[in-house]
Amino acid sequence: MRLPVRWSGLLLAAVLPLGAFAELPEERIEPSIDPELAAHTKVFEQKLYRIAGNVYSAVGWQLGNVAMIEAPEGLIIVDTGESVSESRKIMAEFRKVSDKPVKAVVYTHFHPDHINGVQAFVSREQVERGEVQIYAHESLLQNVVTQGALVGPILGVRSAYSFGSFLPAADQKGMNGGIGPLAKPEPSTFIAPTVTFGERLDTRIAGLDVQLLHAPSEAPDEIVLYLPDNRVLISAEVDQGPTLPNIHTLRGTKFRDPVQWVASLDLLRSLRADHMVPLHGRPVSGRDQVEEVLRMTRDGIAYIHDQTVRWMNKGLTPDELVEKVKLPPHLAGYTPYLREYYGTVKHSVRQIYNGYLGWFQGDPVDLDPTPPKEKAQRLMALMGGRDKVLLEAGNAYLKGDYQWAAELAGYAIRVDREDRLARDIKARSFRRLGYASMNINWRNWYLMSAMELEGNLDGEAIRERSVEMRKVFLSQDMARSFTPRIFLQNWITRIDPDKAGDVELTLGFSFPDVGEEWALEVRKGVAQLHKGIPEGTVLRLSMDKRFMETLLTGENGLLKGALLGDVKVDGNLLEIRRFLACFDFSDEAFGLTLR
């Protein structure tokens, strides 16, 4: 694989006048995988595991497993995968075992790899007729909304980097996703839950006793299933499977509280299950083995948390903490459950600090820092100018000091994003770091960022792929579960104060098919949502909820709907247009590395 970066001439740079090199002879960097990470791929070979007679786990088809419980009166599907096409293959495997009807689906939490493939197992019509119930925690739908509607655009881009969505086949050959095979994201086929609960639900599903327990951990709405008849625990991602758990995810999420996570693992230990079925990786059988895996996972998370807090209380900052907090050998070597294939100690430590104390580390110099571009210009001047900085960066690269080479080149890129030599040095450094990384998230970010620096990931390509990725978090099927309130709440964070700074208008929204009325008030750069339409509101729009769903997914627009009769308009059309112009719903094309 030939890349556009030039290198061996750097050896001559020391005897050339500064500035005499802008391009350097080609260097070939072959794609490779850390040997331990490559061996980890075998853990996810496709297999349908049978556990305790009536529980089956489909491992290796998708990033997340799908479990099936054969109950006396029908099937219970636990989680549904991220890809409906792959989930259909899993359902075909299940049908080799049983021809009983599906009676229930359980979502263990809101992440796409656990909910998106539901319509491979049941149809929306079956759920609407009451033939199939969908169980979940009471907060799942709100988490789906936040993920898809509120922060969907940035989450789509960041997820593309985390999962290496743009990487060529050569960089993905023989790879895995740390907790499963490489993800195969598709637009969600989500169907909203019909039965929700808070802390615990003891129920009978399809003639089988099932305990559903809330166990906040990798997700705040995480639930597990316990089958008392044969002592089977379906542990969701409380036990994240064959990896050090991702106490923080680089794609971005709210704080995952390690204290809660440890408490949830202790809850699972108290069940003393004979079998455990994680929803990533292989099942575990034998009461002693289940206890060992849960205890060691618990101790790994607890150690990282407790030692981070211990050293925080001695005044250490994140950059110091990551050098201080390291797992002891008996935990770090517990293969595969505490190996850093997916989570890492370093990025977990930083998140724990931030979760307790926030971004401010105590030095007031960080309160109003010099803007990054100006800071880079000043530092490079102190170091002797751009050519000297890049010469040192090139020499660091040749010595194998790739992190320092990337940091130095980054200063030049801050000053001039089009500095080809700086971008080449940083890209090459990232490729070296990526191919050496055992952690799939770090590897993917390094390699995706290298592509961006090399110019192989242009803004339009990012925008197009980001739109595709956003459908993983906000598809038409998902939008059908959203209410008018959710739809209009999405507007509040889209207001553009430059366009709305002098606007004071209220627009009423009627949804006659569901009998709801709401109003959005714009008040000098701030938007507020009101339940009901205030008396005296003269600007109004009326539409069915079904049309509203097409607005959420971007298939339609309000003005188009008004012209075609899908939206009824009351009031001065120019004033309505003025109101609508206050909001910014544009999709930007942006990368994450070039700054």
Q: Which DSSP string corresponds to 91-142?
A: HHHHHTT--PPEEEEE--SSSHHHHTTGGGT--HHHHHTTSSEEEEETTHHH
- Residue position matching structure tokens 């009824």: 568
The answer, yes or no, to whether residue 12 has pLDDT greater than 70, is no
Q: Which domains does the chain have, with CATH numbers?
A: 482-580 (3.30.1050.10)
Q: Which DSSP string corresponds to 334-373?
A: STTTTSTTS--HHHHHHHHHHHHH-S--S-GGGTSPPPHH
Taking residues 457-467, what's their average pLDDT?
69
The string of pLDDT tens digits covering residues 249-278 is: 999 999 999 999 999 999 999 999 999 999
Least confident of 149-153, 202-206, 214-218, 288-292: 149-153
- Cβ burial, residue 117 (10 Å; 0-12/13-18/19+): buried
Of residues 471 and 513, more confidence is placed in 513
The answer, yes or no, to whether residue 18 has pLDDT greater than 60, is no
The answer, yes or no, to whether residue 23 has pLDDT greater than 60, is no
Distances in Å between the alpha carbon of 144 and those of 56, 84, 148, 475, 586?
27, 18, 6, 11, 22
Indicate the average pLDDT of the chain: 92
Alpha-carbon torsion 168, 174, 175, 176, what sign? positive
At 14, the pLDDT band (50, 70, 90 cuts) reads very low
The answer, yes or no, to whether residue 166 has pLDDT greater than 60, is yes
Taking residues 355-379, what's their average pLDDT?
96
Whether 402 and 429 have beta carbons less than 8 Å apart is answered as yes
Would you state the pLDDT for residue 7?
44
The answer, yes or no, to whether residue 328 has pLDDT greater than 70, is yes
The answer, yes or no, to whether residue 20 has pLDDT greater than 50, is no
- Cβ burial, residue 481 (10 Å; 0-12/13-18/19+): middle
Taking residues 516-531, what's their average pLDDT?
96
Taking residues 206-226, what's their average pLDDT?
98
Would you state the pLDDT for residue 22?
54
The string of pLDDT tens digits covering residues 24-75 is: 557 889 999 999 999 999 999 999 999 999 999 999 999 999 999 999 999 9
The answer, yes or no, to whether residue 466 has pLDDT greater than 70, is no
The string of pLDDT tens digits covering residues 533-565 is: 999 999 999 999 999 988 887 788 888 898 889
Would you state the pLDDT for residue 15?
35
Taking residues 284-296, what's their average pLDDT?
98
Would you state the pLDDT for residue 469?
72
Distances in Å between the alpha carbon of 470 and those of 154, 209, 218?
9, 38, 21
Would you state the pLDDT for residue 590?
80
Would you state the pLDDT for residue 80?
98
The answer, yes or no, to whether residue 10 has pLDDT greater than 50, is no
Percent of residues, the chain, with pLDDT higher than 70:
94
Least confident of 221-235, 456-470, 529-543: 456-470
Least confident of 220-224, 262-266, 478-482, 569-573: 478-482
